[in-house]
Chains A and B, each alone.
Chain A
Amino acid sequence: MRVLPSGSTALLVELDDIDAVLALYAALVDDRPPGVVDLVPAARTLLVVVDPERSNLGAVEAAVRSTTPRADARAVGDVVELPVVYDGADLEDVSAHLGCTVEEVVRRHTGDDWTVAFCGFAPGFGYLTSASGGWGIPRRDSPRTKVPAGSIALAGEFSGVYPRESPGGWQLIGRTELAVFDLDREPAALLRPGNRIRFVDVGTS
Protein backbone atom coordinates (compact mmCIF):
# COMPACT_ATOMS: atom_id res chain seq x y z
CA MET A 1 0.00 0.00 0.00
CA ARG A 2 1.27 3.42 -0.99
CA VAL A 3 -0.53 6.48 0.36
CA LEU A 4 -0.20 9.41 -2.03
CA PRO A 5 -1.14 13.01 -1.25
CA SER A 6 -4.33 14.31 -2.87
CA GLY A 7 -4.70 17.82 -1.60
CA SER A 8 -5.79 19.02 1.81
CA THR A 9 -8.98 16.92 1.95
CA ALA A 10 -8.13 13.51 0.43
CA LEU A 11 -5.65 10.66 0.25
CA LEU A 12 -5.02 8.40 -2.72
CA VAL A 13 -4.25 4.84 -1.68
CA GLU A 14 -2.38 2.96 -4.41
CA LEU A 15 -2.65 -0.82 -4.41
CA ASP A 16 -1.37 -3.75 -6.47
CA ASP A 17 -4.48 -4.57 -8.47
CA ILE A 18 -8.26 -4.36 -8.72
CA ASP A 19 -8.85 -7.16 -6.22
CA ALA A 20 -6.72 -5.40 -3.61
CA VAL A 21 -8.75 -2.22 -4.20
CA LEU A 22 -12.03 -4.12 -3.84
CA ALA A 23 -10.82 -5.79 -0.65
CA LEU A 24 -9.79 -2.53 1.02
CA TYR A 25 -12.90 -0.73 -0.24
CA ALA A 26 -15.18 -3.45 1.18
CA ALA A 27 -13.42 -3.29 4.55
CA LEU A 28 -13.66 0.51 4.72
CA VAL A 29 -17.34 0.48 3.73
CA ASP A 30 -17.98 -1.99 6.59
CA ASP A 31 -16.03 0.07 9.09
CA ARG A 32 -15.78 3.61 7.80
CA PRO A 33 -13.28 5.79 9.66
CA PRO A 34 -14.91 8.91 11.19
CA GLY A 35 -14.93 11.94 8.91
CA VAL A 36 -14.62 9.98 5.64
CA VAL A 37 -17.25 11.41 3.26
CA ASP A 38 -16.42 9.51 0.06
CA LEU A 39 -14.54 6.37 -0.95
CA VAL A 40 -13.76 6.21 -4.67
CA PRO A 41 -12.37 2.89 -5.90
CA ALA A 42 -10.67 2.76 -9.29
CA ALA A 43 -8.47 0.28 -11.18
CA ARG A 44 -5.45 0.52 -8.87
CA THR A 45 -6.36 3.19 -6.38
CA LEU A 46 -8.84 4.05 -3.67
CA LEU A 47 -9.48 7.75 -3.06
CA VAL A 48 -10.43 8.53 0.54
CA VAL A 49 -12.14 11.91 0.89
CA VAL A 50 -12.16 13.52 4.32
CA ASP A 51 -14.37 16.24 5.79
CA PRO A 52 -11.72 18.52 7.33
CA GLU A 53 -14.21 19.70 9.96
CA ARG A 54 -14.67 16.16 11.29
CA SER A 55 -11.25 14.58 10.97
CA ASN A 56 -7.80 15.11 9.50
CA LEU A 57 -5.64 13.35 6.94
CA GLY A 58 -3.20 11.96 9.51
CA ALA A 59 -5.91 10.24 11.56
CA VAL A 60 -7.63 8.86 8.47
CA GLU A 61 -4.34 7.60 7.02
CA ALA A 62 -3.61 5.77 10.28
CA ALA A 63 -7.09 4.22 10.22
CA VAL A 64 -6.70 3.10 6.59
CA ARG A 65 -3.27 1.59 7.27
CA SER A 66 -4.61 -0.42 10.20
CA THR A 67 -7.62 -1.72 8.22
CA THR A 68 -7.60 -5.41 7.31
CA PRO A 69 -8.75 -5.81 3.69
CA ARG A 70 -11.67 -8.19 3.10
CA ALA A 71 -10.21 -11.13 1.20
CA ASP A 72 -13.76 -12.34 0.47
CA ALA A 73 -14.82 -9.06 -1.19
CA ARG A 74 -15.90 -10.85 -4.38
CA ALA A 75 -18.17 -13.21 -2.44
CA VAL A 76 -20.14 -10.85 -0.21
CA GLY A 77 -21.79 -8.23 -2.44
CA ASP A 78 -25.47 -8.16 -3.32
CA VAL A 79 -26.31 -10.23 -6.39
CA VAL A 80 -27.97 -8.39 -9.29
CA GLU A 81 -29.35 -10.37 -12.23
CA LEU A 82 -29.39 -8.61 -15.58
CA PRO A 83 -31.58 -10.11 -18.34
CA VAL A 84 -29.70 -9.79 -21.64
CA VAL A 85 -30.62 -10.15 -25.29
CA TYR A 86 -27.31 -11.11 -26.90
CA ASP A 87 -27.61 -9.42 -30.28
CA GLY A 88 -24.89 -6.73 -30.05
CA ALA A 89 -23.40 -5.24 -33.20
CA ASP A 90 -19.87 -6.36 -32.20
CA LEU A 91 -20.69 -9.91 -31.10
CA GLU A 92 -19.11 -11.41 -34.22
CA ASP A 93 -15.94 -9.33 -33.78
CA VAL A 94 -15.67 -10.38 -30.15
CA SER A 95 -16.07 -14.05 -31.02
CA ALA A 96 -13.42 -13.69 -33.75
CA HIS A 97 -11.08 -12.04 -31.28
CA LEU A 98 -11.57 -14.78 -28.72
CA GLY A 99 -11.37 -17.47 -31.40
CA CYS A 100 -14.67 -19.09 -30.47
CA THR A 101 -18.28 -19.14 -31.59
CA VAL A 102 -20.86 -16.49 -30.73
CA GLU A 103 -22.65 -19.09 -28.60
CA GLU A 104 -19.45 -19.66 -26.66
CA VAL A 105 -19.08 -15.91 -26.01
CA VAL A 106 -22.62 -15.86 -24.59
CA ARG A 107 -21.95 -18.98 -22.54
CA ARG A 108 -18.80 -17.47 -21.06
CA HIS A 109 -20.37 -14.07 -20.41
CA THR A 110 -23.38 -15.59 -18.63
CA GLY A 111 -21.26 -18.20 -16.85
CA ASP A 112 -18.73 -15.79 -15.34
CA ASP A 113 -19.15 -14.33 -11.88
CA TRP A 114 -18.84 -10.60 -12.45
CA THR A 115 -18.23 -8.03 -9.73
CA VAL A 116 -18.56 -4.26 -9.98
CA ALA A 117 -14.96 -3.20 -9.34
CA PHE A 118 -15.61 0.54 -9.56
CA CYS A 119 -17.82 3.14 -11.24
CA GLY A 120 -17.06 6.15 -13.38
CA PHE A 121 -17.41 7.58 -16.89
CA ALA A 122 -21.07 8.43 -16.17
CA PRO A 123 -23.41 8.17 -13.17
CA GLY A 124 -24.23 4.50 -12.68
CA PHE A 125 -21.64 3.12 -15.12
CA GLY A 126 -19.91 0.17 -13.48
CA TYR A 127 -16.63 -1.43 -14.50
CA LEU A 128 -17.25 -5.15 -14.00
CA THR A 129 -14.46 -7.68 -13.72
CA SER A 130 -14.79 -11.45 -13.58
CA ALA A 131 -12.99 -13.72 -11.18
CA SER A 132 -11.81 -15.93 -14.07
CA GLY A 133 -10.69 -13.07 -16.36
CA GLY A 134 -9.08 -13.86 -19.71
CA TRP A 135 -11.25 -11.56 -21.81
CA GLY A 136 -8.69 -9.05 -23.15
CA ILE A 137 -11.04 -7.44 -25.65
CA PRO A 138 -9.62 -4.43 -27.55
CA ARG A 139 -11.70 -1.28 -27.82
CA ARG A 140 -13.21 -0.46 -31.16
CA ASP A 141 -10.86 1.33 -33.55
CA SER A 142 -13.28 4.22 -33.79
CA PRO A 143 -15.70 4.91 -30.94
CA ARG A 144 -19.39 5.18 -31.70
CA THR A 145 -20.91 8.62 -31.26
CA LYS A 146 -24.10 7.04 -29.92
CA VAL A 147 -24.33 3.86 -27.89
CA PRO A 148 -27.92 3.08 -26.84
CA ALA A 149 -28.86 2.94 -23.17
CA GLY A 150 -28.80 -0.61 -21.82
CA SER A 151 -26.04 -1.79 -24.15
CA ILE A 152 -23.91 -4.58 -22.69
CA ALA A 153 -20.29 -4.10 -23.69
CA LEU A 154 -16.76 -5.42 -23.31
CA ALA A 155 -13.34 -3.71 -23.28
CA GLY A 156 -10.09 -5.06 -21.88
CA GLU A 157 -10.96 -7.23 -18.88
CA PHE A 158 -14.11 -5.20 -18.23
CA SER A 159 -17.76 -5.66 -18.98
CA GLY A 160 -20.18 -2.77 -18.58
CA VAL A 161 -23.72 -1.57 -19.15
CA TYR A 162 -24.33 1.88 -20.64
CA PRO A 163 -26.72 3.61 -18.21
CA ARG A 164 -27.90 6.05 -20.86
CA GLU A 165 -27.22 6.89 -24.47
CA SER A 166 -23.68 8.19 -24.80
CA PRO A 167 -20.60 8.00 -27.01
CA GLY A 168 -18.53 4.89 -26.40
CA GLY A 169 -15.70 2.75 -27.74
CA TRP A 170 -16.50 -0.57 -26.09
CA GLN A 171 -17.57 -3.64 -28.08
CA LEU A 172 -21.32 -4.16 -27.91
CA ILE A 173 -22.52 -7.73 -27.33
CA GLY A 174 -26.11 -7.29 -26.19
CA ARG A 175 -28.69 -5.17 -24.40
CA THR A 176 -30.77 -5.24 -21.26
CA GLU A 177 -34.21 -3.82 -20.62
CA LEU A 178 -33.41 -3.33 -16.96
CA ALA A 179 -32.38 0.28 -16.25
CA VAL A 180 -29.08 0.18 -14.37
CA PHE A 181 -29.54 3.85 -13.47
CA ASP A 182 -33.02 5.22 -12.79
CA LEU A 183 -33.54 8.46 -10.88
CA ASP A 184 -37.11 7.45 -10.06
CA ARG A 185 -35.96 4.31 -8.27
CA GLU A 186 -34.34 3.92 -4.86
CA PRO A 187 -31.50 3.15 -5.17
CA ALA A 188 -30.99 4.85 -8.55
CA ALA A 189 -27.78 2.94 -9.28
CA LEU A 190 -27.96 -0.86 -9.49
CA LEU A 191 -24.26 -1.30 -10.14
CA ARG A 192 -22.43 -0.45 -6.93
CA PRO A 193 -18.83 -1.38 -6.23
CA GLY A 194 -18.75 -4.87 -4.75
CA ASN A 195 -22.11 -5.93 -6.18
CA ARG A 196 -22.06 -9.29 -7.96
CA ILE A 197 -23.64 -9.33 -11.40
CA ARG A 198 -25.10 -12.34 -13.21
CA PHE A 199 -25.95 -11.89 -16.88
CA VAL A 200 -28.91 -14.02 -17.90
CA ASP A 201 -29.50 -14.90 -21.56
CA VAL A 202 -33.17 -14.26 -22.28
CA GLY A 203 -32.95 -15.12 -25.99
CA THR A 204 -34.02 -12.78 -28.76
CA SER A 205 -37.11 -10.68 -28.34
Chain B
Amino acid sequence: MTAGRAVTVVETGPLATVQDAGRPGQAALGIGRSGVCDRTSYRLANRLVGNEAGAAVLEVTFGGLVLRAETDVVIATTGARCPGGPHNAPERLAASQQLRLGPPVTGLRTYLAVRGGIAVAPVLGSRSTDLLAGLGPAVLSPGTRLPVGEPTGPMPGVDVAAVADPTAGDLVVHLLPGPRRDWFDDTAWTELLGQEYAASNDSNRIGVRLEGRPLERTRTGELPSEGMVRGALQVPQSGSPVLFLADHPVTGGYPVVGYVHDDDVDRCGQLRPGQAVRFTASHEAVDRRAGRSSAG
Protein backbone atom coordinates (compact mmCIF):
# COMPACT_ATOMS: atom_id res chain seq x y z
CA MET B 1 0.00 0.00 0.00
CA THR B 2 1.23 3.50 -0.76
CA ALA B 3 2.13 5.59 2.27
CA GLY B 4 -0.25 8.41 1.53
CA ARG B 5 1.49 9.66 -1.61
CA ALA B 6 -0.87 12.32 -2.90
CA VAL B 7 -1.42 15.68 -4.52
CA THR B 8 -4.27 18.05 -3.77
CA VAL B 9 -6.11 20.20 -6.28
CA VAL B 10 -6.24 23.76 -4.93
CA GLU B 11 -7.73 25.43 -8.02
CA THR B 12 -8.90 23.80 -11.24
CA GLY B 13 -9.01 26.51 -13.90
CA PRO B 14 -11.90 26.21 -16.40
CA LEU B 15 -11.85 22.38 -16.47
CA ALA B 16 -9.49 19.74 -15.19
CA THR B 17 -10.10 15.99 -15.26
CA VAL B 18 -8.27 12.74 -14.63
CA GLN B 19 -7.58 10.92 -17.91
CA ASP B 20 -5.75 7.89 -19.21
CA ALA B 21 -5.85 5.85 -22.42
CA GLY B 22 -9.60 5.31 -22.04
CA ARG B 23 -11.92 2.32 -22.37
CA PRO B 24 -11.24 0.51 -25.62
CA GLY B 25 -13.17 -2.64 -26.41
CA GLN B 26 -16.50 -1.68 -24.81
CA ALA B 27 -18.12 0.39 -27.56
CA ALA B 28 -20.53 -2.47 -28.36
CA LEU B 29 -22.01 -1.92 -24.88
CA GLY B 30 -22.58 1.76 -25.56
CA ILE B 31 -19.45 2.68 -23.59
CA GLY B 32 -17.23 5.07 -25.49
CA ARG B 33 -13.45 5.10 -25.48
CA SER B 34 -12.95 8.53 -23.85
CA GLY B 35 -9.42 9.13 -22.51
CA VAL B 36 -7.02 11.99 -23.17
CA CYS B 37 -7.76 14.33 -26.09
CA ASP B 38 -4.08 14.66 -27.05
CA ARG B 39 -2.61 11.16 -26.88
CA THR B 40 0.83 12.24 -28.09
CA SER B 41 1.33 14.75 -25.27
CA TYR B 42 -0.10 12.24 -22.79
CA ARG B 43 2.41 9.54 -23.75
CA LEU B 44 5.28 12.00 -23.47
CA ALA B 45 4.16 13.17 -20.02
CA ASN B 46 4.18 9.61 -18.71
CA ARG B 47 7.53 8.82 -20.31
CA LEU B 48 9.15 11.88 -18.74
CA VAL B 49 8.36 10.66 -15.23
CA GLY B 50 9.01 6.96 -15.90
CA ASN B 51 5.36 5.88 -15.76
CA GLU B 52 3.81 2.95 -17.54
CA ALA B 53 2.14 3.87 -20.82
CA GLY B 54 -1.44 3.68 -19.49
CA ALA B 55 -0.94 5.66 -16.27
CA ALA B 56 -3.54 8.29 -15.40
CA VAL B 57 -2.66 11.97 -15.62
CA LEU B 58 -4.45 15.30 -15.25
CA GLU B 59 -5.85 16.97 -18.36
CA VAL B 60 -5.94 20.71 -17.70
CA THR B 61 -8.03 22.88 -20.01
CA PHE B 62 -6.68 26.41 -20.55
CA GLY B 63 -4.41 26.38 -17.52
CA GLY B 64 -5.44 27.72 -14.14
CA LEU B 65 -4.60 24.58 -12.19
CA VAL B 66 -3.03 24.97 -8.79
CA LEU B 67 -1.73 21.72 -7.35
CA ARG B 68 -0.18 21.13 -3.94
CA ALA B 69 2.13 18.20 -3.30
CA GLU B 70 1.22 16.37 -0.09
CA THR B 71 4.39 14.30 -0.30
CA ASP B 72 7.53 14.69 -2.40
CA VAL B 73 6.58 13.94 -6.00
CA VAL B 74 8.03 14.20 -9.49
CA ILE B 75 5.80 15.73 -12.16
CA ALA B 76 5.97 16.77 -15.80
CA THR B 77 3.71 18.90 -17.94
CA THR B 78 3.30 18.49 -21.71
CA GLY B 79 0.94 19.73 -24.40
CA ALA B 80 -0.11 23.36 -24.05
CA ARG B 81 2.76 25.22 -22.36
CA CYS B 82 1.64 27.15 -19.29
CA PRO B 83 3.82 29.67 -17.49
CA GLY B 84 4.60 28.52 -13.96
CA GLY B 85 7.16 25.77 -14.26
CA PRO B 86 9.34 23.74 -16.60
CA HIS B 87 7.58 22.16 -19.55
CA ASN B 88 8.31 18.88 -21.33
CA ALA B 89 10.69 18.16 -18.46
CA PRO B 90 10.49 16.30 -15.16
CA GLU B 91 10.36 18.49 -12.09
CA ARG B 92 10.50 17.78 -8.36
CA LEU B 93 7.75 19.15 -6.19
CA ALA B 94 8.52 18.93 -2.48
CA ALA B 95 5.83 18.21 0.08
CA SER B 96 3.56 21.26 0.59
CA GLN B 97 5.03 23.00 -2.47
CA GLN B 98 2.51 24.31 -5.00
CA LEU B 99 2.53 24.27 -8.78
CA ARG B 100 0.54 27.06 -10.38
CA LEU B 101 -0.22 26.88 -14.09
CA GLY B 102 -1.02 30.14 -15.86
CA PRO B 103 -3.02 30.36 -19.10
CA PRO B 104 -1.22 28.53 -21.93
CA VAL B 105 0.79 30.46 -24.48
CA THR B 106 -0.52 28.27 -27.31
CA GLY B 107 -2.80 25.26 -27.43
CA LEU B 108 -5.63 24.35 -25.06
CA ARG B 109 -4.85 21.22 -23.07
CA THR B 110 -1.94 20.60 -20.72
CA TYR B 111 -1.10 17.12 -19.44
CA LEU B 112 0.31 16.80 -15.97
CA ALA B 113 1.81 13.45 -15.11
CA VAL B 114 2.87 12.54 -11.59
CA ARG B 115 5.50 9.85 -11.15
CA GLY B 116 3.56 6.74 -10.03
CA GLY B 117 0.38 7.85 -11.79
CA ILE B 118 -2.87 9.31 -10.45
CA ALA B 119 -4.27 6.33 -8.54
CA VAL B 120 -7.99 7.06 -8.21
CA ALA B 121 -10.27 4.01 -8.50
CA PRO B 122 -10.73 2.88 -12.11
CA VAL B 123 -14.25 2.62 -13.54
CA LEU B 124 -14.79 -0.06 -16.19
CA GLY B 125 -11.05 -0.48 -16.53
CA SER B 126 -10.12 3.18 -16.89
CA ARG B 127 -9.55 6.31 -14.79
CA SER B 128 -10.85 8.59 -17.55
CA THR B 129 -13.69 11.03 -16.97
CA ASP B 130 -16.15 10.66 -19.86
CA LEU B 131 -18.12 13.90 -19.84
CA LEU B 132 -20.72 12.71 -22.37
CA ALA B 133 -21.49 9.36 -20.74
CA GLY B 134 -20.99 10.57 -17.17
CA LEU B 135 -18.54 7.77 -16.38
CA GLY B 136 -15.31 7.76 -14.42
CA PRO B 137 -13.92 10.09 -11.76
CA ALA B 138 -15.77 13.31 -11.03
CA VAL B 139 -14.57 16.50 -12.72
CA LEU B 140 -11.85 17.88 -10.44
CA SER B 141 -12.86 20.48 -7.88
CA PRO B 142 -10.84 22.50 -5.37
CA GLY B 143 -9.87 20.40 -2.36
CA THR B 144 -9.82 17.07 -4.20
CA ARG B 145 -7.00 14.92 -2.84
CA LEU B 146 -5.65 12.58 -5.49
CA PRO B 147 -3.75 9.47 -4.45
CA VAL B 148 -0.51 8.84 -6.34
CA GLY B 149 0.71 5.32 -7.11
CA GLU B 150 4.11 3.76 -6.54
CA PRO B 151 6.66 4.32 -9.30
CA THR B 152 6.98 1.21 -11.43
CA GLY B 153 9.91 2.01 -13.68
CA PRO B 154 13.15 4.00 -13.68
CA MET B 155 13.30 7.67 -14.58
CA PRO B 156 14.12 8.03 -18.27
CA GLY B 157 17.21 10.18 -17.82
CA VAL B 158 15.79 12.95 -19.99
CA ASP B 159 16.11 16.57 -18.92
CA VAL B 160 13.94 18.17 -21.57
CA ALA B 161 12.07 16.60 -24.49
CA ALA B 162 12.43 18.65 -27.64
CA VAL B 163 8.88 18.79 -28.97
CA ALA B 164 7.15 21.66 -30.69
CA ASP B 165 4.42 23.57 -28.87
CA PRO B 166 0.89 23.44 -30.33
CA THR B 167 0.63 25.89 -33.19
CA ALA B 168 -0.69 29.39 -32.56
CA GLY B 169 -1.58 29.87 -36.21
CA ASP B 170 -3.82 28.04 -38.63
CA LEU B 171 -3.96 24.31 -38.01
CA VAL B 172 -3.88 22.23 -41.20
CA VAL B 173 -4.92 18.57 -40.90
CA HIS B 174 -5.32 15.70 -43.35
CA LEU B 175 -8.86 14.68 -44.23
CA LEU B 176 -10.00 11.31 -45.60
CA PRO B 177 -13.41 10.74 -47.22
CA GLY B 178 -15.86 9.38 -44.65
CA PRO B 179 -18.55 6.71 -44.96
CA ARG B 180 -21.17 9.27 -46.05
CA ARG B 181 -19.02 11.29 -48.43
CA ASP B 182 -21.67 10.43 -51.06
CA TRP B 183 -24.31 12.44 -49.17
CA PHE B 184 -22.44 15.50 -50.44
CA ASP B 185 -21.51 16.48 -53.99
CA ASP B 186 -18.06 17.43 -55.22
CA THR B 187 -18.84 21.11 -54.79
CA ALA B 188 -19.47 20.57 -51.07
CA TRP B 189 -16.30 18.45 -50.74
CA THR B 190 -14.28 21.18 -52.46
CA GLU B 191 -15.89 23.75 -50.19
CA LEU B 192 -14.93 21.63 -47.17
CA LEU B 193 -11.32 21.43 -48.29
CA GLY B 194 -11.12 25.00 -49.52
CA GLN B 195 -12.45 27.02 -46.65
CA GLU B 196 -11.06 28.12 -43.34
CA TYR B 197 -13.08 27.10 -40.30
CA ALA B 198 -12.93 28.53 -36.82
CA ALA B 199 -13.18 26.38 -33.70
CA SER B 200 -16.28 27.55 -31.88
CA ASN B 201 -16.68 28.49 -28.22
CA ASP B 202 -19.01 25.51 -27.80
CA SER B 203 -16.18 23.05 -28.38
CA ASN B 204 -15.36 20.57 -25.63
CA ARG B 205 -13.98 17.08 -25.06
CA ILE B 206 -16.85 15.63 -27.08
CA GLY B 207 -16.03 17.58 -30.21
CA VAL B 208 -14.84 20.74 -31.88
CA ARG B 209 -17.70 22.65 -33.48
CA LEU B 210 -16.54 24.37 -36.64
CA GLU B 211 -17.82 27.71 -37.82
CA GLY B 212 -17.75 28.45 -41.52
CA ARG B 213 -19.98 28.49 -44.58
CA PRO B 214 -22.49 25.66 -44.10
CA LEU B 215 -22.15 22.53 -46.24
CA GLU B 216 -25.14 21.46 -48.27
CA ARG B 217 -26.18 17.83 -48.51
CA THR B 218 -27.30 16.40 -51.79
CA ARG B 219 -29.11 13.57 -50.07
CA THR B 220 -31.91 14.19 -47.61
CA GLY B 221 -33.64 11.81 -45.28
CA GLU B 222 -32.58 10.12 -42.11
CA LEU B 223 -29.53 8.03 -41.52
CA PRO B 224 -29.85 5.17 -39.04
CA SER B 225 -27.30 5.76 -36.27
CA GLU B 226 -23.93 4.18 -36.97
CA GLY B 227 -20.67 3.72 -35.12
CA MET B 228 -17.80 6.17 -35.32
CA VAL B 229 -14.38 6.84 -33.86
CA ARG B 230 -12.57 10.01 -32.92
CA GLY B 231 -11.66 12.17 -35.88
CA ALA B 232 -15.12 11.80 -37.46
CA LEU B 233 -16.34 14.97 -39.17
CA GLN B 234 -20.09 14.86 -38.83
CA VAL B 235 -22.43 17.28 -40.58
CA PRO B 236 -25.68 17.96 -38.70
CA GLN B 237 -28.71 19.68 -40.21
CA SER B 238 -27.14 23.11 -39.72
CA GLY B 239 -24.37 22.23 -42.19
CA SER B 240 -21.66 23.25 -39.70
CA PRO B 241 -19.37 20.26 -39.13
CA VAL B 242 -18.48 18.81 -35.74
CA LEU B 243 -15.08 17.18 -35.38
CA PHE B 244 -15.38 14.48 -32.75
CA LEU B 245 -12.76 14.08 -30.03
CA ALA B 246 -12.31 11.71 -27.06
CA ASP B 247 -15.80 11.75 -25.52
CA HIS B 248 -17.68 11.38 -28.83
CA PRO B 249 -20.92 9.39 -28.80
CA VAL B 250 -20.45 5.74 -29.72
CA THR B 251 -22.94 6.10 -32.58
CA GLY B 252 -24.31 9.10 -34.45
CA GLY B 253 -27.23 9.74 -36.74
CA TYR B 254 -25.83 12.51 -38.95
CA PRO B 255 -23.68 11.77 -41.98
CA VAL B 256 -19.92 11.60 -41.43
CA VAL B 257 -18.53 13.32 -44.53
CA GLY B 258 -14.88 12.79 -43.66
CA TYR B 259 -12.33 11.71 -41.10
CA VAL B 260 -9.31 13.59 -39.89
CA HIS B 261 -6.34 11.23 -40.19
CA ASP B 262 -5.63 9.65 -36.81
CA ASP B 263 -2.10 11.08 -36.84
CA ASP B 264 -3.58 14.60 -36.88
CA VAL B 265 -6.47 14.20 -34.42
CA ASP B 266 -4.33 14.89 -31.34
CA ARG B 267 -3.46 18.33 -32.68
CA CYS B 268 -7.18 19.06 -33.07
CA GLY B 269 -7.47 18.47 -29.32
CA GLN B 270 -5.27 21.55 -28.90
CA LEU B 271 -7.51 23.88 -30.94
CA ARG B 272 -8.52 26.97 -28.99
CA PRO B 273 -11.87 28.68 -29.47
CA GLY B 274 -11.54 31.03 -32.42
CA GLN B 275 -8.46 29.31 -33.84
CA ALA B 276 -8.50 28.60 -37.59
CA VAL B 277 -8.40 25.08 -38.98
CA ARG B 278 -8.18 23.91 -42.58
CA PHE B 279 -8.43 20.48 -44.14
CA THR B 280 -6.18 19.08 -46.82
CA ALA B 281 -6.94 15.88 -48.73
CA SER B 282 -5.09 12.82 -47.46
CA HIS B 283 -3.75 10.35 -49.98
CA GLU B 284 -4.18 7.37 -47.70
CA ALA B 285 -7.67 6.62 -49.05
CA VAL B 286 -6.18 6.16 -52.50
CA ASP B 287 -3.67 3.67 -51.12
CA ARG B 288 -6.40 1.61 -49.48
CA ARG B 289 -8.49 1.52 -52.64
CA ALA B 290 -5.46 0.38 -54.63
CA GLY B 291 -4.81 -2.37 -52.07
CA ARG B 292 -8.38 -3.57 -52.31
CA SER B 293 -8.53 -3.77 -56.10
CA SER B 294 -5.24 -5.67 -56.27
CA ALA B 295 -6.69 -8.15 -53.77
CA GLY B 296 -9.51 -8.75 -56.21
Contact = CB atoms under 8 A, between A and B. Distances in A.
A202 interface: no
Contacts of A8: 176, 231, 259, 261-263, 282, 284
Given A5-B177, A8-B263, A61-B292, A123 B31 contact: yes
Interface in A111-135: 118-126
B148 to A, nearest CB: 24
B253 to A, nearest CB: 10
B259 A47 contact: no
Interface in A37-62: 37-47, 49, 52, 57-58, 61-62
Nearest to B135: A123
Contact of A7 (B28, B224, B232, B291): B232
Contact of A5 (B28, B30, B176, B224): B176
A192 B288 contact: no
B29 interface: yes
B29 A7 contact: no
A78 B13 CA distance: 47
A26 B107 CA distance: 43
Contacts of B31: 123-124, 189
A18 to B, nearest CB: 9
A12 B251 CA distance: 12
Given A5-B178, A7-B262, A125 B226 contact: no
Given A7-B261, A47-B227, A58-B291, A192 B123 contact: no
A118 B227 CA distance: 10
Contact of A45 (B30, B33, B226): B226
A122 B31 CA distance: 7
B9 interface: no
Given A6-B228, A43-B224, A49 B260 contact: no
B160 interface: no
B3 interface: no
A167 to B, nearest CB: 13
A120 B256 CA distance: 17
Interface string B175-217: 0111111000000000000000000000000000000000000
B288 A119 contact: no
B89 to A, nearest CB: 27
Contacts of B249: 120
Contact of B259 (A5, A38, A58, A122): A5
Interface range on chain A: under 10, 10 to 19, 20 to 34, or 35 or more? 35 or more
Nearest to B258: A7
Contacts of B181: 5
Interface string A20-44: 0000010000000000011111111
B52 to A, nearest CB: 16
A5 B250 CA distance: 17
A88 to B, nearest CB: 22
A189 B179 contact: no
A44 B291 contact: no
A9 B179 contact: no
A188 B122 CA distance: 13
B84 to A, nearest CB: 34
Given A7-B232, A7-B261, A8-B284, A38 B291 contact: no
Interface of A: 4-10, 12, 14, 25, 37-47, 49, 52, 57-58, 61-62, 118-126, 183, 188-189, 191-193
Interface of B: 24-31, 33, 123-124, 133, 135, 176-181, 224-229, 231-232, 249-251, 256, 259-263, 282, 284-285, 288, 291-292, 295
Given A47-B227, A192-B29, 18 more contacts: A5-B178, A6-B228, A9-B231, A12-B227, A38-B229, A40-B27, A41-B227, A42-B226, A43-B226, A45-B226, A47-B228, A49-B229, A61-B292, A62-B295, A118-B251, A119-B29, A120-B250, A188-B29
